[in-house]
Structure 1
Amino acid sequence: MLEATSQALRDADGVRKYRFFTSLNVELDGKAPLDILAEGNLEQVVLAAKSFRKLTRRT
Structure 2
Amino acid sequence: MQHRTSRARARHRRAHWKTSAPALTPCTNPLCGKATAPHRVCQHCGFYRGRAVLSPVDGDT
Normalized per residue, the structure richer in strand is 2
TM exceeds 0.5? no
TM-score (norm 1): 0.23
Normalized per residue, the structure richer in helix is 1
TM-score (norm 2): 0.23
Q: Which has the higher contact order (CA 8 A, sep 6+)?
A: 1
